[in-house]
Each structure stands twice: as C-alpha cells, then as structure tokens.
Amino acid sequence: MRTLSLYVHIPFCTRRCSYCSFFHVQSIRANEEAFVAALEAELIAATAELGSDIKFSTIFIGGGTPSVLREDLLQRVFCALEPFRDPSITGEVTVELNPEDVDSRLLSFFRRHGVNRVSVGVQSMNEAAQRQLGRCDTGRNREAIALVMDVFDEVSFDVLLGVPGRKLSELEDTIEELVALQPRHLSVYCLEPGGDMERSVAKFFNSVDPEHAVDEYDFVCRRLRAAGYRHYEVSNFALPGHESVHNRVYWMGGDYLGVGPGAHSYIDGRRFHNAPSLRDYFDTIGRARLDARIYDDGDENQAETERMMLALRMDTGMPLAWCACGSDTIEALQREELIDVFDDHIRLTDRGFLLTNEIFFRLSAG
C-alpha cells in the first residue's frame, strides 16, 4: 500500500473577486458536468500510474469554489474518491466554502461524505472592506459562521490583510470578533503588489500599501498569540494540536497528488502540474493523457533552495547546518530580531516572516 495526500481543484466561481489570482472560470452547468467526468478519468489514470493500492492520508478540496457544484456532481466527486479512502489511514478531509453557499443541507451532505474540516473564506467582518473585495455582506458571513461552527469542530477562517484604504482599527475589529468565537484555525493572507497577473487584478494589488499591511500583520501575530494560537506557518495560526495536517505535507516535502486544471503535484521528488485551462484539461488530462502534464524539474541546487524556503516558512525552522553563511550573518540577523536560534535550528520571528526571501539569501550566501 502507498499513501499520499490529495488536492482536488474545482475551478468554478459565480463571480471574480478583485484580489484572486488563482485559476478559476465562470460557473456554467455544462462545463461543470464535463469537468466532473474529466476529474473522474484523471483520478483513475493518475492513481493507476502510481500503483495498484493507493490510499489518501489527507484530502483537500479547494478552488475556485467547490461549494458551487450541484449536489449530484459533488456526489460523483466523493464517489470517485471513495476507493482511495481507508478509515484507518485517511484523516483530515477539508473542503473550502464560500459563506454565501453555506446552508444546513450542504453541511450535512459534507458530513455524510466524511468531511471533517472546513475552511471558510470570511476575508473581513467590515462591510466596506467586503464590498471592496467583491465579497458577501457581513451579515451573511455571520450566518455562515454560526452554521459551520454548529456542525464542524475543525473550522478555519481566511482573513485578508492589506485591503487598500482600510483602517487598522477595522482589521482589529475583524480579528476580535473571530477570536471571540475561538475557531481552531485561522489563515491570514497579506495582499502584496506586483507580479504577473491580469490587468484588473494587478490594478487592485498595486494599490496595496505594503507598510500598512505590515502593521496589520504585526497586530494579528501579537493578538492571536495572546489568544493562545500557535503561529506555526507564515500565514497560519492554530490552537495547539489543530494545525492543518494536509498543508504541512506541502511545507515538509511530503508526496501529494493534485487533480483538476492548474493543480500541482509533488511525487518522488518531481514537481508537475496541469495546465491552468479548462479546455486543455478536457482535451488532455481528462482523457487520461497524463503526458500533457507540465514538469517543473530543477537541478539539485533548486531542490535544496526549496527545502530551505519551505522550512523557513514554519515555526519549527531549519537546521543551522543548512546555512552557507558565517556566524557573523547569524548574529546580525539575531540583532535585527529577524531570527531566533534554538537547539541548532533557525526560526524566523514574526517580522522575519515578512522578509523570508531576503533572509534566505543572507543565510545561503557562502
């Protein structure tokens, strides 16, 4: 038997959010039906390629917006996953939800099909920020939060920092309201300007004030730590023992298979992904044309770089032995309060998390 994690990318959304740069397309019924058929075919072909007895230890269904699929199509997705699940092996099963899709029927459906963790895209509890982000109103947020927390114990909320023009006090109010509910997990993402993206998305991101985002991040780190949350990864906070098992597979270099258009995989030291195109997915991957995958093979230096960067993202840090720099650099980073050194490991401070790339280059310079 071989075990690995699975990511399922469902690319459909009812609308485009101004900040989103993930692959997604407009939700159209005919495309959704064709997508599920292609997903079923890819799952069979991809697992057969890996061996005769594959089981998934964790499953994460994301997007896009998985919850926009009709119940009969979601039923087919879970039926396709069933042969690869074993109650003694498969632990965490997560589904991403948009608040406006949440109702008791949908949550009961997910519970019946073995989902035991949900991640809800709350983003903000401020009305003006929600309008700016193209999200639902805060009343709908609160209704969805109450429903989800009544059904699931393992709940994560997403919050966005750096929304252009918003006050720090508005973000503080959002965090205070969520902390009062004591969700077991919070993911806090900073909007950052720049990058190669569509014009509409770039316009939004380029209006972000990085210094304001840093102030918000600093507040969140301090407030969540005071509330008992472990800052276990640069963007993720959890009550002790409730860290995301699936996401830790990514950061710790474990094997995972990604299915769906644009989904990424890492198996046996090789990275590959499907093209971020629904048409390509239907024409190739969905017809078991696995040779259409795009491989991201690098050299040994690239693998070492990835290992260091992933380790630096986590509060467990990386071994001092991985550093190419001298003790002077280590001591300088400590004086700047960017790193802590403990048990022959280097761990980034909250401020250091914001400068991960810079710190990596300083640590890796011989």
CB 229 within 8 A of CB 156: no
Mean pLDDT of the chain: 90
Provide CATH 3.20.20.70 ranges for the chain: 2-251
314: which residues sit within 8 A by CB, 6+ positions away? 232, 233, 248, 251, 252
Q: Which two tokens stand for residue 42?
A: 């890819």
Higher pLDDT, 27 or 227: 227
Indicate the range of 10-14, 22-26, 41-45, 200-204 predicted with least confidence: 200-204
Question: Which spans in 125-209 are helix H?
Answer: 127-133, 138-151, 168-181, 199-205
- pLDDT band for 195, please (50, 70, 90 cuts): very low
Q: Report the alpha-carbon distance of residue 283 to residue 275 in Å, rounded.
A: 11
The mean pLDDT value for 46-68 works out to 93
The helix/strand/coil state of 351 is helix
Q: Which two tokens stand for residue 244?
A: 């995301």
Provide CATH 1.10.10 ranges for the chain: 300-364
Classified by CATH at the fold level, domain 300-364 comes out as: Arc Repressor Mutant, subunit A (1.10.10)
Is the pTM higher than 0.75?
Answer: yes
CB 325 within 8 A of CB 366: yes
pLDDT digits (tens, 9 = 90+) for 272-329: 999 999 999 998 876 777 877 888 877 667 888 889 999 999 999 999 999 988 889 9
Is residue 267 classed exposed, middle or buried when 0-12, 13-18 and 19+ CB atoms within 10 A define those classes? middle
DSSP state of 311: H
Question: Which spans in the chain are helix H?
Answer: 29-50, 71-81, 104-112, 127-133, 138-151, 168-181, 199-205, 210-226, 245-251, 278-283, 300-312, 327-335, 350-353, 356-364
Q: How many CA atoms lie within 13 A of 243 on its CB side?
A: 18
Q: How big is the CA angle at 129 (ends 189 and 131), to the nearest 5 degrees?
A: 120
pLDDT digits (tens, 9 = 90+) for 147-194: 999 999 999 999 999 888 889 999 999 999 999 999 999 999 987 644
Classified by CATH at the fold level, domain 2-251 comes out as: TIM Barrel (3.20.20)
pLDDT digits (tens, 9 = 90+) for 110-148: 999 999 999 999 999 999 999 988 899 999 999 999 999
What is the pLDDT at residue 284? 86
pLDDT at 240 exceeding the cut of 50: yes
- pLDDT band for 365, please (50, 70, 90 cuts): confident
Strands (E), 225-303: 230-233, 236-238, 256-259, 264-267, 270-273, 294-295
For the chain, report the end-to-end CA distance as a whole number of angstroms.
43
Percentage, residues of the chain above pLDDT 70: 90
